[in-house]
């Protein structure tokens, strides 16, 4: 089965409303001629309304970078999945390594948030990945499958298949280091095999597994050419329209 490539840009804590609006408008124009590739962007929460207005009608979807697993309540400083959906978001980014490392987000919390996103009508994009120490210790498969199991464990097959999985080796995020295409493909293939073992065949066949970790125009084509890499979650290179466009073009090739 052919899976439609998905290129997502995580803007992290960058670009306030005016700058985000400008980049959104630039992307809407720059990506107007893309072929058979979905594009999603994740602005900071305060910039979401500005970006939604800038990309309206372009087919570019917008996501929220973080959600709580509760809809409402005394949870100062976080975001409700239902509120994000009402605002116009399509996606929720869940379990990014920065959330896990800097904000002590656990595997169990990631699972609760994935379910909360689905219940609110958002598509979860769940991030998983190992540290350099875990890779050197030969624990890659155990770590990423543990994280994936926690994220999808309570989901039915028809729910699990809507989740995009983003494999991001932590040692390659923002460091300039990138997993080789062969290293990335090996993990992606293992993740798809895990899905095949635990769900009906259509889940493994249709689920998109993205690679993230210093993805740039220079390495995008080789990474995206691997059979089990269905797109990319892009950090720094998504903050410039020209570099992000080049990665989208690599996926469309």
Domain containing 151 — which CATH number? 3.20.20.70
pLDDT of residue 180: 87
Q: Is residue 128 part of a domain?
A: yes
Q: For the segment 16-61, what is each residue's pLDDT rounded down to a tens digit?
A: 999 999 999 999 999 998 889 999 999 999 999 999 999 999 999 9
141 is catalytic: no
Q: Cα(210)–Cα(185) distance, rounded to whole angstroms?
A: 10
Would the pLDDT of 1 be above 60?
no
Does the pLDDT value for residue 213 go beyond 90? no
1 within domain boundaries: no
Q: Which domain holds residue 211?
A: 6-252
Q: Is residue 241 part of a domain?
A: yes
Active site residue 222: no
pLDDT at 174: 67
Among 38, 98, 130, 168, which one carries the catalytic annotation?
168
Question: Per-residue confidence at 172, pLDDT binned at 50, 70, 90?
Answer: confident
Residue 177 lies in a domain: yes
C-beta separation of 30 from 238 below 8 A: no
User: What's the mean pLDDT in 190-201?
Assistant: 95
Question: Does 243 fall in a domain?
Answer: yes
From 38, 96, 98, 105, the catalytic residue: 96
> pLDDT tens digits, residue range 5-16?
999 999 999 999
Beta-carbon contacts of residue 198 (< 8 Å; ≥ 6 apart)? none
Res. 214 pLDDT band, cuts 50 70 90: confident
- The distance between the two most distant Cα atoms of the chain, rounded to a whole number of Å, is 48
Other Cβ atoms less than 10 A from the Cβ of 41: the count is 26
Say how many domains are in the chain: 1
Residue 179 has pLDDT above 90, yes or no: no
- On the question of pLDDT at 141 being above 80, the answer is yes
Residue 196 is assigned to a structural domain of this protein: yes
The mean pLDDT of 160-183, rounded to a whole number, is 86
């Amino acid at each position: 089965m052919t899976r439609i490539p998905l290129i997502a840009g995580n803007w992290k804590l960058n670009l306030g409303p005016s700058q985000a609006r400008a980049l959104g408008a630039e992307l809407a124009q720059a990506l107007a001629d893309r072929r058979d590739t979905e594009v999603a962007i994740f602005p900071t929460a305060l910039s979401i309304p500005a970006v939604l207005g800038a990309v309206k009608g372009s087919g570019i979807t917008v996501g929220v970078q973080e959600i709580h697993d509760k809809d409402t309540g005394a949870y100062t400083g976080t975001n409700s999945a239902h509120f994000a959906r009402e605002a116009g978001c399509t996606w929720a980014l869940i379990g990014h390594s920065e959330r896990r490392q800097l904000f002590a987000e656990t595997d169990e919390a990631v699972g609760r948030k994935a379910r909360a996103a689905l219940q609110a009508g958002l598509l979860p994009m769940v991030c998983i990945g190992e540290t350099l120490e875990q890779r050197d210790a030969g624990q890659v498969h155990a770590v990423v499958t543990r994280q994936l199991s926690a994220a999808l464990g309570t989901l039915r097959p028809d729910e699990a298949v809507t989740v995009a999985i983003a494999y991001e080796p932590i040692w390659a995020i923002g460091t300039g280091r990138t997993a080789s295409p062969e290293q990335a493909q090996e993990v992606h293939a293992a993740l798809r095999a895990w899905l095949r073992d635990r769900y009906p065949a259509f889940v493994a066949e249709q689920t998109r597994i993205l690679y993230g970790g210093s993805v740039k125009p220079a390495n995008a084509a080789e990474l995206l050419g691997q059979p089990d890499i269905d797109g990319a979650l892009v950090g720094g290179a998504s903050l410039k329209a020209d570099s992000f466009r080049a990665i989208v073009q690599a996926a469309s090739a």
